[in-house]
Amino acid sequence: MQISSVATLGQTEKWLKEVFFKALSSSPHSHQTPTPTYSIIFPTPDEIRRSLDGYNSGGSIHMKTQSAAQQKQLAYMRPYLCQWAGDGPTSGTYIDLSGDEPPKWEAGRARAAPHIKTYIRFRDGMESMDWAMVSSANLSTQAWGAGVNSAGEVRICSWEIGVVVWPGLFGDCADEGGEAVMVPTFKKDRPSMPSETEEKEKGRGLLLLLSDSVCLTTYP
C-alpha cells in the first residue's frame, strides 16, 4: 500500500493487525492462503526535501513522532515502512517477497511528492494483482473504522471515496479463451505481454498504470 498520511493508531499494533491488515487479507479461500507480507510505502523526510517543490510538498504528508505514544507507534510500524523513491544516499534493504531478488519497477515519478493513496494486493512474485484500489482514505481509524465494539458496531468518522478494480470485473475475457489477469505497467501505456501461446493459456492481460515506483526498499 502507498499512503500520504498516518494518523494516531494506538501504542500497540492491535488495530493495524487485527482490523486493518485483516480486512485487506480476507478472501473466499482465506483458510488456504498463506499470511501475506504487508508493506507501507511512505516518503522519508529526505525524499520530500529532494522532491520538485522541496519541503513545501510535505504540507499534507503527515506522521507525527513527537510524543512518547507516537514514538511507540513508529516503532511497531517501522518494519512495514518502505521508501517512496528508494534512491537516497542511505537506502535500506529490499524486502524479498519471492525468494529471488525482488523487482524494482520505476514509475518515473520519484521527485513528485505523493498525495495519492494506493492499495494493491499482489500475487506471489508481484507480477500480477488480485485487486487494486485508488482511494481518498489514508491510514487512520477515522477512514477505515475503529473495529467492532461490544455492541457489534463499527465507528467510522470520515467520508471516503475510491475505485476498486479486480480481474473478475472483466468476465467477458472467459469468452476469449481464458481468465483476465491484472498486471502492473510503468512508464508506458501497455504492459509487456506474454507470447500468443502463453496468452491463450493464461488469459488476457489487463494493465494498471502505477504512479509510484515499486521497489520495497525499507527505511534505513
Binding-site residue set: 117
- Of 168, 137, 141, the C-alpha closest to 155 is 141
Q: Known catalytic residue: 31?
A: no
Q: What is the largest CA-CA distance in the chain?
A: 58
Compute the CA torsion angle 219, 101, 125, 122 (nearest 10 deg). Answer: 10
Query: Per the annotation, where are the binding residues for substrate?
Result: 117
Catalytic position from the list 29, 31, 62, 115: 115
Q: How many angstroms separate the CA atoms of 86 and 161, rounded?
A: 29
Question: 111 pairs with which residues across the strands?
Answer: none
Question: Cβ of 137: how many Cβ atoms within 10 Å?
Answer: 19
Active-site positions read: 115
